[in-house]
Structure 1
Amino acid sequence: MKRLSVWLSLLLVLTVFLTACSSGKDEKASSTEGKATITVASWNAAADALTEQIEGFNKKYPDIKVEVLHTDTGYSKVTPALAAGTGAPDIIQTQARDFPAFLQKFPDQFVDITDETKKYKDDFIESSWKSVTQDQKIYAMPWDVGPTALYYRIDLFEKAGIDVESVKTWDDYIEAGKKLKETFPDTAMTLYTDDFNLYEIFLNQLGGSYVKDGKINVNSPESEKALLLQKKMKDEGIAINVHDGNGRIPALTNDKVASVILPVWYAGTLSHSVEKQAGKWGIVPIPAFEVGGNTQANLGGSILAVSKQSKNADAAFKFIEYVLTTDEGQKIMLKYGLFPSYTPFYKSEAFNSKDEYFGMELYPFFAKQTTTIKGMEYGPIMLDATKPLKDMIDGVLAGNDVKKMMGTTAESISKSTKLKVNH
């Protein structure tokens, strides 16, 4: 009986051991090889592009089901789940400038993908890695970027006697705007809205940052120059105000504006919203602040990150890899106006095709506008900084003292973020 008891005990131990091994093997298989469902939170055209990716992705990974959740740019469907630590999508899109704030506000909520992205380090525009890196670790993949250019009406410039090639600096641009008004009194050179797009373009062009050395930096010399240029454009009468981005289209349709300073994604807006002006728009690099100065800047761009709440993190990263590092994926992105930060795609036929609306190879032109883009330090402030920044710009345009407005804004952001201010 004693011997039988010993054998039964051994058999029980062996059974438990084998069951544990089998269970571990199945669990690993379910996370890497078995069927999985992943959800992706995205918005607008980006969400549509990701939705169209699913068919091609499933040809390669038939056992991974993908569901795209349409969210808003204010992240109202994402941040509560991150704060609660439960219910978050597997993959989350944020604007590149917002992601450092996500890492700060929701620590330990995003998967460290440093090892997975090592092989792609040289395949993306260098500056695009900045916003997804914290303490030398990578927590998201760069998606698209927004190289900026000057879109101008060829016909209006010619009738006003403006040679666009002679517009080398922003001062030249302002003078050209005055000349335009002599021929077309009811047409402005450009426009501005109640957002801070122009401010960020100018700030990035100058090499400025929202945060520097871990401190609020919106009171910097670069910030002052960016604000004063906007004010000068308004004061000289070459820029008109529209109250939101939608106001641009009527202004363009009715020949109320002769040029716009915006990124690559606005090319799609023009071709779809003012179709009758095909062939009338040209594109050149933005003017510099001084002769021979930098003529490149970035505005916008998004990232894709894997939530640590995901039970299928491996499958989620496979989807990110497919949509961002394959020609098949990037062709669809390009179709929706999302300019890739993934540079190997720049050699593809789709990327180098001629754009009929502008009569030029559109994307190769913008690829050349990415070579000297300066890395922007957003810091963990952008989710709290939007309103103070808008108030700062509005205050300067209204005639308030620039240095005082910058100082007030820096202190306001400091109060909400607990970061100190650079002095």
Structure 2
Amino acid sequence: MKKLVLVSLFFVTSIFLAACGGGSSEESNTSEGETTIKVAAWNAAANALTDQIEGFNKKYPDIKVEILQVDPEYSKVTPALAAGTGAPDIIQTQARDFPAFLNKFPDQFVDLTEKTKDYQDKFLESSWESVSKDGKVYAMPWDIGPSALYYRKDLFEKAGIDIASIKTWEDYIEAGKELKKAIPETTMTGYTNDFDLYEVFLNQLGGTYVKDGKINVNSPESKEALLLQKEMKDEDVAISVKDWNGRITELNNEKIASVILPVWYAGTLQHSVEQQAGNWGIVPLPAFEEGGNTQANLGGSILTISKQSKNADAAFKFIEYVLTTEEGQTVMLNYGLFPSYTPFYQSEVFKEYNDYFEMEVYPFFAGLTSNIEKMDHGPIMLDATKPVNDMIGAVLEGKDVDKSMETAATSISKTTNLDINE
């Protein structure tokens, strides 16, 4: 059995090694004086990085960049890290997942503490949380997802709802009931057994997945986040939508009047429901109690350099260009990737007026970053996503909240060997 496992791992790693072009210094150079770096990323992030190459090569003509389109489940990356060979020079991970990478693959990432020391005050403070361990920095923060309430101005007006009156989530639920009475075919929002909604609420409440090194998904904040989702469903102000595309279908059919998601959803609305231009507004999240916190983050990625890289200095130059220059961040913004690099907030492109929303969208979201609570995802998220999703689903189905949290915490504990906070 051990031989079979080793052969399987070798086979998977060999495939990825071939895609990366190998890890030796000879294989890293395509011609004399020219260095090649490989970057693993997915979807819009990979496309944004591809569009960076032309500008980067104007500054560094001798560094060739190849973007490897991989999956967000890391199936092409983790075998190479586990084997210690075949990894690309630069790897994208979700910010919430990187602490788990540092735990599962120690000594596989370059220490960037010295290289990033001049940038410590140029990125949002909360963005350094996931890339640091034991006082050292192992990745550069990339984008973040300040969250807000997108709402249909025309539908709210038709239902007689004043958006300024929605100060708390209870106000939001009551407004949803009024909306349903006035426009029976339309519901306040949609959910997809919603991990995203749970994380927004948890972060807004100051909750965390890990606290003091122990699993914390059974916390009071977790319970409050789950109960709010359950109340929205029970009060019929949130309908179930199948998936990402299902939400878009319902938006186009005017079945949903608001969306609780981060800045990156602005691009989705503009491109997927373009006929509703001028009808959408954006306001801060309602608070859990009047005067409470209205800020939360959802999503965001980082860029790290593999210790297997023979060209770590060249790799950092690429990261530095795409994340700390106006040219690089302008490309990112074109793909809806909101920067955690704060100097870019002063650029003219960042401040541009948006005709679709009839407002300056990015400065508005920049104003929703000042009080984002730090969230410790700990080294568990590669193992915690399914138990947390199961926990949310169980609560929405009417199962006991405390028992559902206990089940999730126990499942994560068995996989990660971490204790559970009592």
* Superposed pair shares fold, TM > 0.5: yes
Q: CA deviation at 1:41?
A: 0.2
| Counterpart in the other structure of 1:85 | 84
Tell me the secondary structure at the aligned position of residue 292 of structure 2: coil
2:115 counterpart of 1:151: no
Rounded Cα–Cα distance in structure 1 between residues aligned with 2:66 and 2:213: 37
| Counterpart in the other structure of 1:268 | 267
Tell me the secondary structure at the aligned position of residue 101 of structure 1: helix
Question: Which has the larger Rg?
Answer: 1
Q: Is the 8 A contact 1:194 1:244 kept in 2?
A: no
Partner amino acid, structure 2, of 1:86: T
Q: Which range is displaced more, 243-252 or 125-134?
A: 243-252
| Counterpart in the other structure of 1:249 | 248
2:193 counterpart of 1:194: yes
| Counterpart in the other structure of 1:96 | 95
Rounded Cα–Cα distance in structure 2 between residues aligned with 1:207 and 1:131: 16
| Counterpart in the other structure of 2:19 | none
| Counterpart in the other structure of 1:346 | 345
Tell me the secondary structure at the aligned position of residue 318 of structure 1: helix
RMSD between aligned residues:
1.2
2:66 counterpart of 1:67: yes
Q: How does 1:370-409 map to 2 (within 5 A)?
A: 370-409=369-408
Q: CA deviation at 1:194?
A: 2.9
Partner amino acid, structure 1, of 2:228: L
Rounded Cα–Cα distance in structure 1 between residues aligned with 2:34 and 2:243: 45
| Counterpart in the other structure of 1:229 | 228
Partner amino acid, structure 1, of 2:218: N
| Counterpart in the other structure of 2:5 | none
Gaps of 5+ in 2: 1-24
| TM, length-normalised to structure 1 | 0.92
Rounded Cα–Cα distance in structure 1 between residues aligned with 2:98 and 2:178: 43
2:143 counterpart of 1:134: no
Partner amino acid, structure 2, of 1:201: V
| Counterpart in the other structure of 2:293 | 294
Partner amino acid, structure 1, of 2:397: A
Residue deviations 1:59-104, cap 9 Å, x none? 0000000000000110111000000000000000000000000000
Partner amino acid, structure 2, of 1:371: S
| Counterpart in the other structure of 1:22 | none
Residue deviations 1:29-63, cap 9 Å, x none? x9xx9521000000001000000000000000000
Q: CA deviation at 1:401?
A: 0.6
Tell me the secondary structure at the aligned position of residue 150 of structure 2: strand
Rounded Cα–Cα distance in structure 2 between residues aligned with 1:391 and 1:153: 31
| TM, length-normalised to structure 2 | 0.92
Q: Which range is displaced more, 357-366 or 33-42?
A: 33-42
Rounded Cα–Cα distance in structure 2 between residues aligned with 1:138 and 1:233: 40
Q: CA deviation at 1:220?
A: 0.2
Q: How does 1:142-221 map to 2 (within 5 A)?
A: 142-221=141-220
Q: CA deviation at 1:242?
A: 1.0
Q: CA deviation at 1:243?
A: 1.9
Partner amino acid, structure 2, of 1:71: V
Tell me the secondary structure at the aligned position of residue 66 of structure 1: strand
| Counterpart in the other structure of 1:320 | 319
Residue deviations 1:168-216, cap 9 Å, x none? 0000000000000011111110111134000000000000000001100
Partner amino acid, structure 1, of 2:158: K
Residue deviations 1:344-375, cap 9 Å, x none? 00000000000111111000000000000001
Gaps of 5+ in 1: 1-25
Q: Is the 8 A contact 1:205 1:295 kept in 2?
A: yes
| Counterpart in the other structure of 2:3 | none
Give runs of ≥4 in structure 1 deviating > 4 Å: none
Rounded Cα–Cα distance in structure 2 between residues aligned with 1:91 and 1:300: 19
| Counterpart in the other structure of 2:367 | 368
| Counterpart in the other structure of 1:414 | 413
Tell me the secondary structure at the aligned position of residue 86 of structure 1: coil
Q: Which range is displaced more, 190-199 or 226-235?
A: 190-199
Q: Which range is displaced more, 44-53 or 239-248?
A: 239-248
| Counterpart in the other structure of 2:357 | 358
Tell me the secondary structure at the aligned position of residue 69 of structure 1: strand
Q: CA deviation at 1:245?
A: 1.5
| Counterpart in the other structure of 2:104 | 105
Tell me the secondary structure at the aligned position of residue 381 of structure 1: helix
Partner amino acid, structure 2, of 1:361: E
2:57 counterpart of 1:52: no
Rounded Cα–Cα distance in structure 2 between residues aligned with 1:138 and 1:165: 42
Rounded Cα–Cα distance in structure 2 between residues aligned with 1:112 and 1:375: 22
Rounded Cα–Cα distance in structure 2 between residues aligned with 1:264 and 1:34: 42
Q: Which range is displaced more, 191-200 or 171-180?
A: 191-200
Alpha-carbon spacing, 1:93–1:225, altered in 2? closer, same or farther (3 Å) = same
Partner amino acid, structure 1, of 2:127: S
Q: Is the 8 A contact 1:234 1:240 kept in 2?
A: yes
Residue deviations 1:1-47, cap 9 Å, x none? xxxxxxxxxxxxxxxxxxxxxxxxx99xx9xx952100000000100
| Counterpart in the other structure of 2:15 | none
| Counterpart in the other structure of 2:336 | 337
Rounded Cα–Cα distance in structure 1 between residues aligned with 2:368 and 2:296: 8
Q: Is the 8 A contact 1:195 1:244 kept in 2?
A: no
